[in-house]
Amino acid sequence: MAQRREPGVLVLAKELNGAIEKHVEDREYSPTYLISEIGGKLSRVLIGGVLDQLENRGSESDPFYTARVIDPNGDFYYLQAGQYNPEGAAALSKLENGVPILCVGKVRARTPEDSERTYVSVQPEGVRAVSMDEVNHWAIKACEELIKRINATKVIDADDDEYNKMNLTIREKDGMQLAKGFYPNVAVENYSAVLYDCLTKLANNETNADEGSNFTGEFEPASSSPVNEKDKEEVIEKAIETPSEEVTVEETIKEEESPKVESSGNEDKVLEKIKKLDEGDGIYYDDLGIAVSLEGIDGPMLDEILDSLTDQGLIFQPRFNHYKEA
């Protein structure tokens, strides 16, 4: 089986920028993780928003691209790609300011010697221009992940039964325990406010880009169906005040729900994406991950599907981490 990379964790900019503590596991080839205050265990992330302040600070022969990405809450991710990340630099060179994007990349944290501030950035591995509707759907899923971490943070010491009922993955539990050690006192209400603001902006068709940015578009409503204001207020209140209850973003923003797709249906979706996005030399794993993420197919699920399609002889790897229809 081909070597797999760390899954891309969906995370809003506010949480990522506060993830300043590093962790390296006692195993060979462990990446450096950034641990967020509420338990995000971050090595690679899947982020979304509007590209802003894109600039090549190097030269044409030796490019060094920097950019901001404005998430739907109006907060910023910071991208960097230079000579040690030629794929990321090449991807950014093809984009323009104001374009909605999804991006998967590795996280980095740097604290200058003459400063006490830690700067968190993303080194893009795959970047794709998308529609605002796709960004909004990404934001809904990122909010779901945020709700889960908020809920877990509030009950990890207070209620073992509720914590165990959450059925967290091993990775998620590791993140929660590490955050507990790194950040003894966490203002969880700050992240509840981020959640509330983001959902409200998505529901009300608002944007929070600052006046000095190059952002010219607007975040579209996450659903074409009307939002039930009473339901929205009740569920957001539950997410903020009673986190022990399972809360889903779909209850907050009334999306049109699609029926659950069986594994064979997911295989068909992945195979179709491979056919559609292959430009001759196979589709890169990260780009495929971005393309199927909004179909509800995460990293571990994608890995299983790729293994299954390979075993069936439907796809192969013409080169490492690239997939092509057989």
Any domain includes 258: no
Q: What is the pLDDT of residue 205?
A: 67
Query: In CATH, what number is assigned to the domain containing residue 296?
Result: 1.10.10
Q: Are residues 215 and 75 located together in one domain of the fold?
A: yes
Last-in-domain residue among 252, 282, 316: 252
The alpha carbon torsion through 231, 234, 240, 243 (nearest 10 deg) reads -90
What tokens does 8 get?
A: 């891309």
d(Cα 137, Cα 31) in Å, to the nearest integer?
Answer: 29
d(Cα 24, Cα 33) in Å, to the nearest integer?
Answer: 6
Residue-number span of the structural domain to which 149 is assigned: 8-252
Q: What values do phi and psi take at 167, rounded to 5?
A: 55, 50
Low pLDDT (below 50) residues in the chain? 1-3, 207-232, 235-236, 238-262
Any domain includes 257: no
Q: Evaluate the CA torsion angle 322, 6, 125, 248 in order and state its sign.
A: positive
Any domain includes 269: yes
Q: Are residues 242 and 284 located together in one domain of the fold?
A: no
HEC secondary structure over the chain: CCCCCCCEEECCHHHHHCCCEEEECCCCCCCEEEECCCCCEECEEEEEEEEEEEEECCCCCCCCEEEEEECCCCCEEEEEECCCCHHHHHHHHCCCCCCEEEEEEEEEEECCCCCCCCEEEEEEEEEEECCHHHHHHHHHHHHHHHHHHHHHHHHCCCCHHHHHHCCCCHHHHHHHHHHHHHCCCCCHHHHHHHHHHHHHHHHHCCCCCCCCCCCCCCCCCCCCCCCCHHHHHHHHHHHHHCCCCCCCHHHHCCCCCCCCCCHHHHHHHHHHHHHHHCCCCCEEHHHHHHHHHCCCCCHHHHHHHHHHHHHCCCEECCCCCEEEEC
Q: What is the pLDDT of residue 305?
A: 87
Query: In CATH, what number is assigned to the domain containing residue 36?
Result: 2.40.50.140
d(Cα 92, Cα 126) in Å, to the nearest integer?
Answer: 9
- The long-range contacts involving 180-184, CB below 8 angstroms and separated by at least 24 positions, are 180/39, 180/156, 182/21, 182/35, 183/21, 183/37
Q: Evaluate the CA torsion angle 219, 224, 226, 229 in order and state its sign.
A: negative
Last-in-domain residue among 197, 231, 252: 252
Q: What is the pLDDT of residue 220?
A: 40
Q: What is the pLDDT of residue 103?
A: 94
Q: Are residues 101 and 185 located together in one domain of the fold?
A: yes
Q: Which residues is 192 bridged to in the sheet? A: none
Any domain includes 2: no
d(Cα 85, Cα 28) in Å, to the nearest integer?
Answer: 23
Q: Are residues 242 and 223 located together in one domain of the fold?
A: yes
The structure's pTM equals 0.68
Per the structure, how many domains does the chain have? 2
Any domain includes 191: yes
Q: Are residues 154 and 109 located together in one domain of the fold?
A: yes
Q: Are residues 81 and 168 located together in one domain of the fold?
A: yes
Q: What is the pLDDT of residue 211?
A: 37
Distance of CA 81 to the CA centre of its chain: 18
Name the burial class of residue 34, with classes exposed (0-12), middle (13-18) and buried (19+) by CB atoms within 10 angstroms of its CB: buried
Q: Are residues 171 and 118 located together in one domain of the fold?
A: yes
Any domain includes 14: yes
Q: What is the pLDDT of residue 290?
A: 81
Q: Are residues 312 and 239 located together in one domain of the fold?
A: no
Is residue 103 within 8 Å of 10, Cβ to Cβ?
A: no
Q: What is the pLDDT of residue 263?
A: 53
Q: Are residues 285 and 177 located together in one domain of the fold?
A: no
Any domain includes 120: yes
Any domain includes 243: yes
Q: Are residues 12 and 81 located together in one domain of the fold?
A: yes
Q: What is the pLDDT of residue 206?
A: 58
Q: What length is written for the chain?
A: 326
Task: List Cβ neighbours of 156 (8 Å cut-off, separation of 6 or more).
Answer: 163, 176, 180
Q: Are residues 73 and 141 located together in one domain of the fold?
A: yes
Is residue 315 within 8 Å of 322, Cβ to Cβ?
A: no
pLDDT tens figures, 25-58: 888 778 889 999 999 999 999 999 999 999 999 8
Last-in-domain residue among 191, 218, 252: 252
Q: What values do phi and psi take at 122, rounded to 5?
A: -120, 130
Q: What is the pLDDT of residue 74?
A: 92
Q: Are residues 217 and 276 located together in one domain of the fold?
A: no
pLDDT tens figures, 200-216: 988 876 544 443 344 33
